[in-house]
Structures are given as C-alpha cells and as structure tokens.
Amino acid sequence: MSRLGDQFALLRQRGEKALVCFVTAGDPSPEDTVSIVRALDHAGADVVEIGIPFSDPLADGPSIQAASQRALEAGMTTRKVLRIVREIREYCPKLPIVLMTYINPILHYGLAAWAADAADAGADAHIVTDLTPEESDDWVRISKASGLDTIFLLAPTSTPARIDAAAARSTGFIYCVSRTGVTGARQDVPVELTDVVSGIKGRSRLPICVGFGVSQTEHVRTICAFADGVVVGSALVDLVHAHADDPNLLLLVHNYALALKEATAPR
C-alpha cells in the first residue's frame, strides 16, 4: 500500500478525517517551503500538496496564481521542485506528498521521466488539474509503474459518467471541488455539497476530500461530518505571504494547521 493508502487506513482506525494542506513550491523561497511543510507535519497535517508553479493556470484563484508568479520570478522550476521534495522527504519520512500541477510541465519534462524522478524524490501522488480522466490512461499507467497514485478532481457539475471515469482511474483519494470556479478562501460551505459528496461515495470506495474555499475551522467541522477530509490551500498560501518576513511565520503556520486538524476530530 502507498503512503496515502496507509494514511487513510490509519485515519479510519482512529475515527479521524484527513487534513490536506497545500503550499506553493518556492514561495516565499525553496528553503521556506521545506520549513513550512515540516511545520505542517509537526502540527498533524495528514497530507501535503505541493503546487508546482505554472505560468498559465486554469483552476488557481488569485492567491495561488500570485504565489506561483512570485515563485517563478524567483527562479522556481520543475527540477527545483523535485529538490524541495527530496529535502522534505528526509525530514518527513511518513508524510504523504502530492504534487499538484498541470499537464504541460509534465509533457515538457517527459511523462515517464517525470514520474520516475518524482517517485525517486519522494513524491507519492499527482493531481494534474487539467488532465481529464478520459484522456489520462497513458499517465495513469506510467504513474502506476513508478508507484505513484493519481488523484482526479470532481465538481458539483460532474456527470455520473465523469464520476465513474474518475473513480475507475483514481487511487489514493478523490478531490471533490466544493464549487464551480477557481480556488480561493470563502466564507461559507455550499449547502448542496453534502449531496455532491454522497453522489460520489455512491460510485467509489475511495476517500473523498473536499477543497476550494475551505479556510476556517468551522468549514472543516462541517465538511468532515460527511466527507473523509478537507483540503486547505488559498488561506494557507495567504497566511504564508502575509507573514513571509515575520520571524514567527512557522509558529503561525503550525498553529493554524493545528487548529484545522483539531477540527477534523469526531464531535
């Protein structure tokens, strides 16, 4: 079983839900990314997604777009992301690491070469945001050959056929987008989200983690009542950016993640 599989099995045994945290590689610096992920791990984050900065994002909202642009302007590349992953893995041997990216950087690198190098660096899975399940068979096959899980996005607008296609190809977990549109912190949890997750669960046995707009502990409590975990991205990226020069940055990250993780516990 993969690190992701092991983590979700352990969470089920404990009666807990998963906290998945997203950071942008290289923002504010490669060294800070390593330290931030270590702080998240120490705070109890169950999975960390590392976003690979890309110049033409489709699903990223303003916060993550800005973080990616800052990282790119500072010289971040796909190869440097792998160096960051390798260093994180040295400090966090059990933490599942998911790389979140778009298909173009992988195609440019080479599918098989990227999968092999990502696995060798210590990555456990990928979310390729603009790769649809129906067009993913080559990538899924290559990922499996390298021991990598593949996670697909599903949305409130996903048809039963799309859900089945994603469920058939996904491993690790399924990422349920809480609403249509791009990422970004929100103030509410859509009331129809319970039905969306229920519909996916009816067609897949994989864990379902909900993201896009999750930023507050109350969001986490609400979602964890019907889903297997939450993904917190833009709010964490904003926190890092707002305190990039603050000597207490890692403590702030740790305390934020700790509060979110505590909210995943059963009531």
Catalytic one of 16, 27, 41, 60: 60
Cα–Cα distances in angstroms (integers) from residue 112 to residues 115, 163, 258, in the given order:
5, 26, 37
Q: Is 60 a catalytic residue?
A: yes
Catalytic one of 49, 87, 117, 149: 49
How many angstroms separate the CA atoms of 58 and 130, rounded? 7
How many angstroms separate the CA atoms of 136 and 181, rounded? 22
How many angstroms separate the CA atoms of 50 and 266, rounded? 27
Residue 98: how many other CB atoms lie within 10 Å: 25
Q: Is 56 a catalytic residue?
A: no
How many angstroms separate the CA atoms of 92 and 38, rounded? 7
136: β partners: none
- Angle, in degrees to the nearest 10, between helices 111-121 and 137-145: 40
Cα–Cα distances in angstroms (integers) from residue 232 to residues 175, 213, 247, 253, in the given order:
12, 8, 23, 12
Structure tokens at 222: 């609400």
Which of the residues are catalytic?
Answer: 49, 60
